[in-house]
Structure 1
Amino acid sequence: MKHALIIRHVPVEGVAGFRAPIEDAGFNVDRIDVTDPAFPSVDFLAPDLVVMMGGPMGVYESEAHPWIACQIARLSERMAADRPTLGVCLGAQMMAAGLGARVYPGGRQEVGFAPVALNPVGAGSPLRHLEDVPVLHWHGDTFDLPDGTELLASTGIYAQQAFRRGPNLLALQFHAEMGEDPRFDSWLDKWPDAIAAAGQSAAQMRADHDEHGPVAVAAGRRMIVDWLAGLRT
Structure 2
Amino acid sequence: MTHPMTRDALAIRHVPFEDLGLLEPLLRARGFRTSYLDVPVEPVTPEAALEPDLLVVLGGPIGVYETEAYPFLGAERAAVAARVQAGRPTLGVCLGAQLVAAALGADVVATGRKEIGYAPLTLTAEGRDTVEGRDTVEGRDTAEGHDPVLAPLDGVRVLHWHGDQFAIPEGAVRLAETPGFPNQAFAIGSHVLGLQFHLEADHTQIERWLVGHAHELASAGIDPAGIRSDAAAYGPALAEAARRTFDRWLDQSLGAVRP
The TM-score, its normalising length taken from structure 1, stands at: 0.93
Indicate the residue corresponding to 1:205 in structure 2: 227
**Match 1:113 to one of 98, 112, 118:** 118
C-alpha deviation, 1:175, in angstroms? 0.7
In structure 1, how many angstroms separate the alpha carbons of the residues matched to 2:192 and 2:42? 27
C-alpha distance after superposition, 1:97-142 (max 9, x if no partner): 0110010101210001012110111241211011221110000000
- What pairs with 1:192-231 in structure 2 (closer than 5 Å)? 192-196=214-218, 200-231=222-253
In structure 2, how many angstroms separate the alpha carbons of the residues matched to 1:176 and 1:211? 16
Indicate the residue corresponding to 1:140 in structure 2: 163
Larger Cα Rg: Structure 1 or Structure 2? 2
C-alpha deviation, 1:63, in angstroms? 1.0
Compared CA separation, residues 61 and 181, structure 1 to 2 (3 A): farther
Query: Any conservation in 1 of the 2:46–2:79 contact (CA below 8 Å)?
Result: no
- What pairs with 1:27-38 in structure 2 (closer than 5 Å)? 27-38=32-43
In structure 2, how many angstroms separate the alpha carbons of the residues matched to 1:222 and 1:20? 13
Compared CA separation, residues 119 and 42, structure 1 to 2 (3 A): same
Corresponding letter in the other structure for 1:201: D
SS at structure 1 position matched to 2:181: coil
Give unpaired runs (5+ residues) of structure 2: 1-5, 132-145
Corresponding letter in the other structure for 2:94: C
SS at structure 1 position matched to 2:253: coil
C-alpha deviation, 1:197, in angstroms? 5.8
Corresponding letter in the other structure for 2:89: P
Does 1:19 find its partner at 2:19?
no
Indicate the residue corresponding to 1:177 in structure 2: 200
Query: Any conservation in 2 of the 1:25–1:225 contact (CA below 8 Å)?
Result: no
Q: Percent identity?
A: 41
Indicate the residue corresponding to 2:7 in structure 1: 2
In structure 2, how many angstroms separate the alpha carbons of the residues matched to 1:211 and 1:204? 10
In structure 2, how many angstroms separate the alpha carbons of the residues matched to 1:222 and 1:61? 34
C-alpha deviation, 1:4, in angstroms? 0.6
Corresponding letter in the other structure for 2:26: P
Corresponding letter in the other structure for 1:175: H
In structure 2, how many angstroms separate the alpha carbons of the residues matched to 1:36 and 1:88? 20
SS at structure 2 position matched to 1:231: helix
Q: CA RMSD in A?
A: 1.7
Indicate the residue corresponding to 2:183 in structure 1: 160
Give aligned pairs, total: 232
Moved more, 34-43 or 13-22: 34-43
Indicate the residue corresponding to 1:71 in structure 2: 76
Corresponding letter in the other structure for 1:88: V
Query: Any conservation in 2 of the 1:111–1:198 contact (CA below 8 Å)?
Result: no
SS at structure 2 position matched to 1:32: strand
In structure 2, how many angstroms separate the alpha carbons of the residues matched to 1:141 and 1:36? 24
Corresponding letter in the other structure for 2:252: G
C-alpha deviation, 1:52, in angstroms? 0.8
Indicate the residue corresponding to 1:96 in structure 2: 101
The TM-score, its normalising length taken from structure 2, stands at: 0.84
Indicate the residue corresponding to 1:150 in structure 2: 173
